[in-house]
Amino acid sequence: EVQLVESGGGLVKPGGSLRLSCAASGFTFSSYSMNWVRQAPGKGLEWVSSISSSSSYIYYADSVKGRFTSSRDNAKNSLYVQMNSLRAEDTAVYYCARGSGDGGYDYVDYWGQGTLVTVSS
Amino acid sequence: QSVLTQPPSASGTPGQRVTISCSGSSSNIGSNYVYWYQQLPGTAPKLLIYRNNQRPSGVPDRFSGSKSGTSASLAISGLRSEDEADYYCASWDDSLSGWVFGGGTKLTVL
């Protein structure tokens, strides 16, 4: 069974930083691309970033480009996103999501339960 | 403002058939597959339809997807109370080099 468990969310001040982690299990992590998708309170889904299985391709939404950095450690079956220069509009539940293949833009087929990031003074 | 356009709400009575539309452009739906996700209240999204009209195992055949040009639709037949959820369409956008979602449609079963 595919399991994705996010951690690292919490309250951070505007301009601050936070690092989210996602622990994956139930599949061969190194064979799949991974994604971060977020959902602001009461709002719709917004894609944040995609990273290919070998980290060769990494894509970012314009809204986070230059501030967020996605990475993965295939030996640890883990996905990360380093979020810097956080803004109030980054407040959201952040979902870790598996891509259906090993490329840079495979569709999401499994989702974690999400971790809440709140940016507020 | 979402890149893909969905109606904010839809409704139907049990047993009815409802459709949810998703409108895009040549850089997304017009040149790539469409996907649909179901988000039940308080839960994470779940893949409902992939590659325009394919159902993952476990998804009832009451759910079907279609695509024509730069638009797509999700149809739900034999509506059930447990179908009450938010539904999102998604597609890769070649111009943005990223995934784009619709704003979501809240389905109410009356």
Using the predicted structure, report yes or no on whether residue A59 has a pLDDT greater than 80. Answer: yes
A62 vs B102: CB contact, 8 Å cut-off?
no
Of residues A104 and A2, more confidently modeled? A2
Q: Which residue of B has its CA nearest to A114?
A: B44
- Give the closest residue to A19 by CA, choosing from A60, A69, A91, A66: A69
For residue range B66-107, list pLDDT tens digits in order: 999 999 999 999 999 999 999 999 999 999 999 999 999 999
User: Residue A49 half-sphere exposure, CB side, CA atoms within 13 Å?
Assistant: 25
Q: CA–CA separation, A53 vs B94, rounded Å?
A: 20
Pairwise CB contact (< 8 Å): B101 & A109: no
Q: How far is CA B82 from CA A95, B21, B54, B79, B108, in A?
A: 23, 20, 21, 8, 10
Q: What CA–CA distance (Å, rounded) separates B27 from B24?
A: 8
Q: Do A69 and A55 contact (CB within 8 A), yes or no?
A: no
Q: Establish if A59 touches chain B: CB-CB under 8 angstroms.
A: yes
- A-B Cβ pairs (cutoff 8 Å, strict): 62
Query: Would you state the pLDDT for residue A90?
Result: 98
Quote the mean pLDDT of chain B. 97
